[in-house]
Amino acid sequence: MESRKMVSDYLRTLVLERGLSQNTAAAYGVDINHLLDWCEGCGKDISSLSATDIHTLLCELSEMGLSAASLARFVSGIRGFFKYCRTRNVLDADPSELIEMPRRGRHLPDVLSVEEIDAMISAIDTSKDEALRNRTIVETLYGSGLRVSELTGLRLSRLSLPEECAIVEGKGSKQRLVPLSPVSVSLLQSYLEQRIHGPIKPGNEDIIFLNRRGAAMTRVMVFYIIRDLAAAAGITRKVSPHTLRHSFATHLLQGGANLRAIQALLGHESIATTEIYLHLDRSFLRSELLNHHPHYANPTSAT
């Protein structure tokens, strides 16, 4: 069996038939190719792998420091690949069937306070040409809860400033309508007026956020902008564009928004994904009790 070719065919199927994004398919490809590399290093053929072999590899990955979430993704990736090989009659048995999915601890995402987000915006150097663009990016990420890939993929043809909304393309190329805050709309209007006077590379005319050379901004570039603004604002913990998305959802929940509405705004396929913010909000509520309730803030007052 030509294992590497099977991997390429499988990843193509994930994108074309199952609608996964290129990035998600590529992540699965990294894991599956790691399995093939391990097989070659052990002198094994993938068609002769056993559940014990896969368990041994998982133990090695765990010892290398891979998190439970990464291990779970690895198992999910190779399970899908083995199933694909079985349907093509390439493998006689699926060695991953008896492998248990590693337990993933529930990780509560970091969020920023409104004051911290304001501090990041205040940290933008207004003397630089990209100041307006960067402020628009921060406001749009936080004001609409966008993923960074959704932000970099925003298009003029799918933007309606009069109606204060935009169509974004989320995971699996699924589109959804998202509202834009009045602040974001105002900033977008100003930024788009500025944008037409700068360079725009052919093929990028419909892309909203451009770099200095007139090409579409990358996700990495946006990550660095957010990271540097957080540092300039004196925020010492790790901050990324996704932190603004988490903050958007958490602040909505704290303000009384319905969980189903937050699910729709975030583009979550399952309500279970959105429910993590319930746990986060309970942590917030407890901290509020500890800080403000007299019997929490000062336990001795109850005696």
Q: Per the residue annotation, which of 73, 245, 246, 251 is the catalytic one?
A: 245
Is 246 in the active site? Answer: no
Catalytic residue among 79, 83, 268, 296, which?
268
Order across the sheet with 165-169: list the strands: 159-160, 165-169, 175-179
Active site residue 103: no
Tell me if residue 274 falls in helix, strand or coil: helix
Residue 55 identity? H
Residue 175, helix vs strand vs coil: strand
Give the H or E element holding residue 208.
none
Strands (E) across the chain are located at 159-160, 165-169, 175-179
Neighbouring-strand partners of residue 176: 168
- For the chain, state the CA radius of gyration: 23
- Closest to 31 measured CA to CA, from 48, 17, 14, 19: 14
158 among known catalytic residues: no
Which residue of the set 171, 176, 219, 227 is catalytic? Answer: 171
Whole-number Å distance between alpha carbons of 152 and 216: 7
User: What are the φ/ψ torsions at residue 167 (nearest 5 degrees)?
Assistant: -100, 125
Q: Which residue matches tokens 């190779």?
A: 78
277 flagged as catalytic:
yes
Give the list of residues 6+ apart from residue 141 with CB closer than 8 angstroms, or none. 148, 151, 226, 241, 244, 245, 248
Question: Is 34 a catalytic site residue?
Answer: no
Identified catalytic residue from 79, 155, 242, 296: 242
Catalytic residue among 147, 195, 246, 251: 147
Give me the catalytic one of 84, 142, 191, 277. Answer: 277
> By the 8 A CB rule, do 117 and 138 touch?
yes
Active site residues: 147, 171, 242, 245, 268, 277
